[in-house]
Structure 1
Amino acid sequence: MGIREIQVAAHNFTVHELDDVYDSVTGRALTGSWVWNSALVLSHWMSTHLNFQGKAVVELGAGAGLPGLTAALLGASRVLLTDIQPLLPGLLKNVEANGFKERVEVRELVWGSETESGPFDVVLMSDVFYDPENMVRLGNTLERICREGTEVWAATELRPSTGDRLNELMNQGFQMVEVQLTTQLDVQNGMEDSNQFAIFQIICHVSPTPVI
């Protein structure tokens, strides 16, 4: 781990990846300590497809926070980066390193908790569809922070279990619209494999038809 320079929309982000944040139960490094390829895919896609001017944005399971920082770069008026408590110091470091302290907040958010942080205009997520126990809690959180017109965008690497995780959200009443599928290998930005990635728009119960 260490410091990475990642270019998005002709801007160089400084991203601190951590090597000293561990799960207290398993002893393994927390997966949110570094930038996942899905976060790179989402950030690049956002820079050419979404309008963030004047919008309030939240990133769920932000990890290192690259998509949320990209939203700030692209004109969001407020960005909230959320994750579990051990990852917050790393998020704060990345906010400060990129000069976004005035518009980007960092806050703990445990999915399914009663914490109210919204509503928001845009919700961002990358590589969050892997733990079946978290899908109901994620759905509960989305219900609380979305309002009519909220856009929810999620990028994920397509794994054998991804379809099951998406079905669990759809069983809660959410709709999934695949808007981008890519296998592009981006060597410049450190993507280490050419697996398939997809970007989905998630339609909440209160939301109108997809914007794409």
Structure 2
Amino acid sequence: MALVPYDGNYLPVLSKLHNTSAEFRFADHNVRLTQDWNKLGVAAVVWDAAVVMCMYLELVGQVELTGKVAIELGAGTGLVGIVAALLGAKKVTITDREPALGFLAANVKENIPPDQLGAVEVSELTWGQGLERYPKGGFDIVLGADIVYLEDTFPSLLQTMEHLSSESSVVLLACKIRYERDTNFLSMLKQRFTVHQVHYDKERDIHIYKAVKLPARRDL
């Protein structure tokens, strides 16, 4: 996640990102997230991709979360991981780079009921680094919202997704397709995963892709 502060000279269309909080209703819970654009930039605001992902998880119902072990990559405010826990995931690991963890943990504590807090872990994860701290193929569901945007991170992001998932895991990515580099990432992803678009939010221009890891090659 790019932890980039921004100054106050922003376009009016982005003004909601500078609010100190954002509120939603998911899984019969009011979810209130603190935002801090000035301190942490893009990592500390709720982007449309996260909202669309949560709507997909709750309303479309094609992915079963109950009893599953999930991980969110580049979590930012933690909305997707929080909603995954509220929807019944057995264990949720919500990750981002170290500077965002205190902020992220506060949002988790604010929105996860006390009796469920033990099932949610906030953890540092820089893509491609320290992956041995996470069980190889140990997650049923890997979630990422608006994490496909820095081309330099694509190889390490793919490496991380491969490490965390098994051939029975489901990877869900919510993103805009803004530039050629985004299409290039999908091409890279398809070399290692079977990839299908499972949802498109026309109003917000958000795509959701489902990826399943390809079987390991066994040379004859």
- TM-score w.r.t. the length of structure 2 is 0.80
1:174 aligns with 2:193: yes
Once the two structures are TM-superposed, the CA of residue 203 in structure 1 deviates from its matched residue by 1.9
- Kept in 1: contact 2:22–2:46 (CA 8 A): no
Equivalent in the alignment of 2:74 = 61
| Aligned position for 1:200 | 209
- Aligned equivalents of 2:160, 2:54: Cα separation in 1: 22
SS in 1 for 2:43: helix
Q: Deviations over 1:68-90 (max 9, x none)?
A: 11110011111000110111111
Is 1:148–2:167 an aligned residue pair?
A: yes
Name the structure 2 match of 1:15: 33
Query: Is the Cα–Cα contact under 8 Å of residues 130 and 165 in structure 1 kept in the other structure?
Result: no
Which residue of structure 2 lines up, in the alignment, with residue 133 of structure 1? 152
Give 4+ residue runs of structure 1 displaced > 2 Å after superposition: 19-22, 168-171
- Percent of pairs with identical residues: 31
1:61 CA drift (Å): 0.6
Letter in 2 for 1:84: R
**1:45 aligns with one of 41, 44, 56:** 56
- 1:206 deviates by 3.9
Kindly state the Cα deviation for residue 158 of structure 1 after the two structures are TM-superposed: 2.4
Give the partner amino acid of 2:184.
Answer: D
SS at match of 2:129: coil
Superposition RMSD on alpha carbons, in Å? 1.7
Q: Which runs of 5+ in 1 are unaligned?
A: 23-28, 185-193, 208-212
Which residue type is aligned with residue 204 of structure 1?
K
Following superposition, the deviation at residue 20 of structure 1 comes to 4.3
Q: Deviation string for 1:85-124 (max 9, x for gaps)?
A: 1111111011110135221100110111132313101100
TM-score between the two structures when normalised by the length of structure 1: 0.83
Partners of 1:142 and 1:204 within 8 A in 2 = no
Per-residue CA deviation, residues 150-191 of structure 1 (Å, 9 max, x unaligned), is 1111111221232122123234x223210111213xxxxxxx
1:47-126 to structure 2, matched below 5 A, reads 47-48=58-59, 49=61, 50-99=63-112, 100-116=116-132, 117-118=134-135, 119-126=138-145
Structure with a larger share of its residues in helix: 2
Q: Which has the larger radius of gyration?
A: 2
Report the CA distance between 1:129 and its aligned residue.
Answer: 1.2
